[in-house]
Amino acid sequence: MRRTPSYGRRNPTSDPRSTPDRIPYSPSSPYSLSSTGQKSSSGRSVVSVAARSVAGAFTSCFTPPETKSSVSFGDSEEFKAPSVFSDASRDGSERRRSSSRGIYFNSNNSRHESEPGILKFTMQEINKATKNFSPSFKIGQGGFGTVYKGRLGDGTLVAIKRAKKSVYDKHLGVEFQSEIQMLAQVEHLNLVKFYGYLEHEDEKIVVVEYVPNGTLRQHLECLYGQILDLAARLDVAIDVAHAVTYLHMYTDHPIIHRDIKSSNILLTENFRAKVADFGFARLAADSDSGETHVSTQVKGTAGYLDPEYLRTYQLTEKSDVFSFGVLLVELVTGRRPIEPKREIKERITAKWAMKKFTDGDALSILDPRLEQTAANNVAIEKILELALQCLAPRRQNRPSMRRCAEILWSIRKDYKEVLAPDFRSFSSRSQMST
């Protein structure tokens, strides 16, 4: 059973490297769950207005027949990946992050340790780990390069991301170095662990944790032959919320992921979620200097893009919140964010789902693979209401990722309480039958 430690806010005077990996629900929070899980007649009209606003924002952002828009900026199966790991203790108390960071190699293949106790790589070790990049070791392909499964000398399984040589240029080299150094400073249980990278002659290679159970998107499509039940989907949502909250609040400087989506969420054998692929990650604005946003080129994936960011080129942490709202809809419906083969009104999944939800027909959008039980029905309503808040067209109307995690914790708590009588009833019937 997971525990929920206290979760303080960013404090510049405290050590930002000490962070929990769980967030408790706070009943006294001004963003009360009562507005998330319960609906009055007046509340429904407010929600309906918000939904129409959301629908308008979706309509202006995406062209339904395409799975990627001209500004989708590619499938971000980017080569550049983050570093991450959390060692929060079982009882929920905070522990200082380990000193492991990563190792950086220059073009001469010489080693420069950032801190002791880290894995060291040479080109020879990478070749050995991948059997000279054998096609049989290939496990993925993205816009930036190819991903291989590898085994290090100590037996550790890793994912080795190798950049396409055709995309090299001076500007990319600068981005590669600055991004790796930024991401090497973060680690959390729900982020894919970074081991290091190698930059040698025309090779750019990143070594990260190997997560064996595929992506969330693959599981939503049952490509592994197993249906993710709603409890598992709630756990995934909570794990992702914790990971993104950590990036926004508990790193040395807030980090915006910019590409939260189901294909960037890897699952362990125990169906714990790990957020991956930091190819589009960006440092957030420096709030201490009074900045409210970062003005930057739009990057992300069509279907998940924040419409306000798309319109203004102003990036904030709330852009990740919008993408998370799309992900919540994806978890409930099982559909991709853009479904070009469906009829026009259903092609933008979040727009379609929010319309159904505010019309009081939430259960009609439920993934047909999920059962319509009392517990599921209640949880789905609450998840969709949180999604509606995350999908608000204006960023100031969206909750923080920390608040999303709190609400999801409460939804899961209520979900388990509704399930409990069912389990007791099932157990009694089983004993009687024996």
Known catalytic residues are 259
Q: What is the C-alpha to C-alpha distance for residues 69 and 292, in angstroms, rounded to an integer?
A: 27
165 is in an annotated binding site: yes
Compute CA distances 359 → 38, 44, 376, 411, whole Å. 15, 9, 19, 22
Q: What is the C-alpha to C-alpha distance for residues 202 and 200, in angstroms, rounded to an integer?
A: 6
Alpha helical stretches, state H, 31-188: 34-37, 41-61, 123-129, 170-183
Residue 400: closest CA among 310, 296, 303, 287: 287
Sign, Cα dihedral of 224, 225, 231, 234: positive
Q: What would you measure as the largest C-alpha separation in the chain, in angstroms?
A: 73
Q: What is the C-alpha to C-alpha distance for residues 136 and 159, in angstroms, rounded to an integer?
A: 14
DSSP string, 402-418: HHHHHHHHHHHHHHHHH
β-bridge pairing 314-315 and 294-295: antiparallel
Q: Is 198 helix (H, G, I), strand (E, B) or coil?
A: strand
Compute CA distances 192 → 48, 93, 173, 235, 266, whole Å. 38, 22, 23, 17, 8
Sign, Cα dihedral of 17, 22, 28, 32: positive
Q: Which amino acids are annotated as binding site for ATP, given as ranges?
A: 165
- Indicate the annotated binding residues: 165
